[in-house]
Amino acid sequence: MILKRAIEDGAEYGESNIYSANINRTEEEIIQILSHRLNFTEAAVRCFFRTRETNMTGVYCEAAIDEYDSCWLATEPNRTIYLPCPNFNQTGRFASRYCDVNGTWSNGGFTNFEECILQEDLSLAMIMRDIYFVTSIVSLVLLCIALTIFLYFKSLHCTRISIHKNLVSSFIIRSVLIIVVVEPYIFHRETTYRDVDWLCKVITVLVNYAVLANIFWMFVEGLFLHNRIVVAVFSTEAPFRLFFLLGWGVPAVIAVVWAMVNHVVNEAHCWDHYSKSPFYYIIIVPFIIALSVNLIFLINIIRILVTKLRANNSVESAQIRKAIKATIVLMPLLGLTNLLFVMGPEDKGGLQVAYHVTNAILQSSQGSFVAILYCFMNGEVRNCIKQKWYRFKIRHNLKPGGRRRSSRTSSFFLSQTEQY
């Protein structure tokens, strides 16, 4: 009804009626005028004109445009209609829509493309769905434990760990949103967030914000590490307010600008296929810039590391091993694995399958790598946990007969480890 009423009102809008007999216009010209006036796609307006020819009355499903600009004509209740699959797949198959007895398109108004999807494509989609869901849950658990450790131990409160805490927090937000997005495809609930257009768009904006915040906190990690090792400008006190602004503020501005642009120009439900829009470069360009700068940081850090190793006259093979180890450890922290998947293969074969599966694993497991490498395997963290464990044993495992003899020793040890 919205499309129909808007076009009918738009036809009367302006200095003259666009159907006026005094002005000779072709149907294509009228379609272009209405599309410009109402900010609808020409496909949507053209679909309305085709529906006018049916002259349907009573209860029926309104004409609709799907995400591939296919025109689904007004249809009688309790009827399924078919259209050829869009050109993203082989011909000879048909997409479908069902108009229920109440005159409403079923499936939340979405077109059923199941017949358009090849079995191997469907299998790949299900594999990627499961990978994202399971690995994101694992990452979320590990990240929550890591953040709890960082917050609990007072001796870990420093600028470097504070940056780690914010990076872990961004990973937690990203993992939660991945789970929210993938969950409806796991449990196949009848109603999901995608049924509510505004909620779906909000989640879409939050997902892109989480990705940007994640990348920008990796950039902050790289900036801090590079300047400590190479430039030494943060030898006294790091400008954490600047880091906070870079990590949370800049991504928020970018995400809001992108959302406003989409709100104006993208009329698709839930902004489906937004990544194919040229406006997605608002997200992609800062993403690539941040990762590219981190790559420069990494190269410079490794250069300084190799120079220092050579100055220590260590064995050449040992130098190479240490440099390689440092590179591998720093890559997930700086997010450089993301650069491997900026461009994907288009061969539609095994290489593309390997690309998608590997990308899914690394993207959803990156938080796990960061939690393991920079928390669970961190020497400072392990020492804090050991100290806490020793204190626990002293407090709870002292023998009743030996409590008095060991009271001085235990009191001294507890006092020395209280800071942990």
pLDDT digits (tens, 9 = 90+) for 216-258: 998 998 888 888 777 655 555 668 888 999 999 999 999 999 9
Higher pLDDT among residues 87 and 101, named by residue = 101
Could you tell me if residue 10 is inside a domain?
no
Could you tell me if residue 103 is inside a domain?
no
**pLDDT (tens digit, 9 = 90+) per residue, 381-398?**
888 888 888 887 777 766
Domain identity same for 332 and 399: no
Taking residues 38-65, what's their average pLDDT?
68
What confidence score (pLDDT) does residue 251 get?
A: 95
**Lowest mean pLDDT segment, chosen from 40-49, 91-100, 148-157, 310-319:** 310-319
Kindly state the percentage of the chain with pLDDT values over 70: 65
- Both tokens of 254, joined, read 């970018």
The pLDDT of residue 181 is above 60 = yes
Higher pLDDT among residues 169 and 410, named by residue = 169
Taking residues 20-38, what's their average pLDDT?
57
Higher pLDDT among residues 372 and 310, named by residue = 372
Higher pLDDT among residues 49 and 102, named by residue = 102
**Tokens 């288009």 sit at which residue?**
346
Domain identity same for 263 and 308: yes
Domain identity same for 350 and 408: no
Could you tell me if residue 45 is inside a domain?
no
Domain identity same for 360 and 403: no
Domain identity same for 201 and 224: yes
Could you tell me if residue 36 is inside a domain?
no
Kindly indicate the confidence band of residue 377, based on its pLDDT and cuts at 50, 70 and 90.
Answer: confident
Domain identity same for 274 and 322: yes
Domain identity same for 272 and 355: yes
Could you tell me if residue 54 is inside a domain?
no
What confidence score (pLDDT) does residue 38 get?
A: 53
Could you tell me if residue 15 is inside a domain?
no
The string of DSSP codes covering 200-266 is HHHHHHHHHHHHHHHHHHHHHHHHHHHIIIII-TTSS---HHHHHIIIIIHHHHHHHHHHHHHHHH-
The pLDDT of residue 311 is above 70 = no
Domain identity same for 197 and 132: yes
The pLDDT of residue 37 is above 70 = no
Domain identity same for 268 and 330: yes
Query: How far is Cα 415 from Cα 5, in angstroms, rounded to an integer?
Result: 77
What is the residue range of 339's domain? 119-377
The pLDDT of residue 10 is above 50 = no
Q: How many domains does the chain have?
A: 2
Domain identity same for 324 and 405: no
β-strand partners of 71: 65
How many Å is the maximal CA-CA distance in the chain?
A: 110
**pLDDT (tens digit, 9 = 90+) per residue, 254-301?**
999 999 998 888 877 788 778 888 888 999 999 889 988 888 888 888
**pLDDT (tens digit, 9 = 90+) per residue, 107-128?**
767 788 777 776 666 677 788 8
Domain identity same for 369 and 398: no
Kindly indicate the confidence band of residue 203, based on its pLDDT and cuts at 50, 70 and 90.
Answer: very high
Kindly indicate the confidence band of residue 15, based on its pLDDT and cuts at 50, 70 and 90.
Answer: very low
* Pairing verdict, β 71-72 and 79-84: unpaired
Could you tell me if residue 397 is inside a domain?
yes
Task: Specify the 3-state DSSP secondary structure of 112.
Answer: strand
Could you tell me if residue 26 is inside a domain?
no
Taking residues 135-160, what's their average pLDDT?
89
What confidence score (pLDDT) does residue 208 get?
A: 94
* Mean of the per-residue pLDDT values of the chain: 76
**pLDDT (tens digit, 9 = 90+) per residue, 238-247?**
688 889 999 9
User: For the domain that residue 313 is a member of, what is the CATH number?
Assistant: 1.20.1070.10
Q: Could you say which DSSP state residue 116 is in?
A: G
48 and 63 Cβ atoms separated by less than 8 Å: yes
Domain identity same for 329 and 398: no
